[in-house]
Amino acid sequence: MLEPIAPINWEKDQVVIIDQTCLPEKEVYIYPQKVEEVWDAIKKLKVRGAPAIGIAAAFGLYLAVKDSRAGDKKGFLAELNKASDYLASSRPTAVNLFWALDRVKRAVEAADTDNVADLINLVHKEALAIRDEDEAMCRAIGKNGASLLRDVDSVLTHCNAGTLATSRFGTALSPIYELKKQGKLLKVFVDETRPLLQGARLTAWELHQAGIPLTLITDNMAAAVMARGWVQAVIVGADRITANGDVANKIGTYGVAILAKEHNIPFYVAAPASTFDLSLESGEQIPIEERNPEEVSHFGLRRTAPEGIDIFNPAFDVTPSRYVTAIITEKGVIRPPYKQNIAKMF
């Protein structure tokens, strides 16, 4: 049976990463032996997606210290901290990266031993645990989401919140993989997701290789697909969710949510508990990163827009919670009223 692949994993005693910069043209696997190669893989987006980056960083730490010659825990921790600082410099705004590095360090700090071989094992065990817990989280989202999509034939998704962004299975795509396991094959309409085409390059690739039927469209075709009655649900991931249920996600998500509402199609957001930022009351408080205008004015190396013009290139948009039918987490499905029900869950 075709299964969604793990984009970063520990297999046959080594780290294995699928190089996502080669997708969809070539399926290239790399086997980092040194921490520098993991740093490079994160830096160059060979591995991307917040959970996957965290897992890669944890395995990177293990590669950095696995041949440690430190004499005691103190010396070992010094090496670990150095490697951690180094890995943290690969993508300085990736929250999951810091979280994973801190978690491994804390585990070592808490260990009551000076035996360096044991500490090395602990780092490895912790990296594997981060991977396993992420996979369990994705599967739980898949099961919770599957119950919502059981009577649906086709869904539409935006960007990539799939197996390639996590340990495995993904968030938004996990219910689709789960339903396949249960014997129900959903069809997926995939927004290409300009400007970086994560939908065309990654989501289309991973669904196709897992044997899920899909139709690729440009972002501006979603409305025409909905008007034809071809999709009965939309499901997307999230980068951050505020206390009132507003959802920051890849640019274009908000537009899809409006289109779904206009066509009476449920709009689901699938995201782990760690995505909720209860320190923010509403989406207006979420800072929106603006990215390099060349992502819009160029395609590959070719300029496709005139020089000297203004370009707006926000990485994310905010979908107000009134457009969100339900939020699917590993702990269960949250429905409106969001403020109360999010508070209740956490």
**Any contact of residue 210 with a copy of itself (CB under 8 A)?**
no
Sequence-distant (≥ 6) Cβ neighbours of residue 306 within 8 angstroms: none
**Footprint of a copy of itself on 259-278 (CB under 8 A):** 259, 261-262
CB of 188 to a copy of itself, least distance (A): 10
- Given the complex with a copy of itself, which of 88 and 221 has the nearer CB atom? 221
Note the residue count of the chain: 346
C-alpha atoms less than 13 angstroms from C-alpha of 170 in its C-beta half-sphere: 31
Distance, CA of 241 to CA of 247 (rounded, Å): 5
Please, are residues 38 and 56 in contact by the beta-carbon 8 Å criterion? yes
What letter would DSSP give residue 20? G
Q: Residue 55 phi/psi, 5° resolution?
A: -65, -45
Distance CA 29, CA 48 (A): 14
Binding flag, residue 330, a copy of itself (CB under 8 A): no
Would you count residue 310 as binding a copy of itself (CB under 8 A)? yes
Q: At closest approach, how far in Å is the CB of 305 from a copy of itself?
A: 4
The catalytically annotated residue of 134, 191, 239, 246 is 239
Closest to a copy of itself by CB, 285 or 313? 313
Tokens of 75: 């010396």
Q: In angstroms, what is the minimal distance from the CB of 52 to a copy of itself?
A: 19
**Burial of 118 per CB tally in 10 Å (0-12, 13-18, 19+):** middle
User: Helices (DSSP H) in 150-279: which residue ranges?
Assistant: 174-181, 198, 204-209, 222-227, 253-262
Contact status: 73 vs a copy of itself (CB under 8 A) = no
Residue 24 in the binding site for a copy of itself (CB under 8 A): yes
The verdict on 68 binding a copy of itself (CB under 8 A) reads no
Residue appearing with tokens 């009655």: 229
Among 93, 264, 279, 304, binds a copy of itself (CB under 8 A): 304
Q: Would residue 112 show up in a list of annotated catalytic residues for this protein?
A: no
22 binds a copy of itself (CB under 8 A): no
Name the one residue in this structure whose structure tokens are 């890849």.
250
By CB under 8 A, residue 194 contacts a copy of itself? yes
Closer residue to a copy of itself, CB minimum distance, 194 or 331: 194
Is 213 among the residues that bind a copy of itself (CB under 8 A)? yes
Question: What six digits make up the tokens of 90?
Answer: 């690969």
What DSSP state is assigned to residue 271? -
Footprint of a copy of itself on this chain (CB under 8 A)? 23-25, 158, 189, 191-195, 197, 200-201, 204-205, 208-209, 213-225, 227, 251-252, 254-256, 258-259, 261-262, 296-297, 299-300, 302-314, 317-318
Catalytic residues: 239
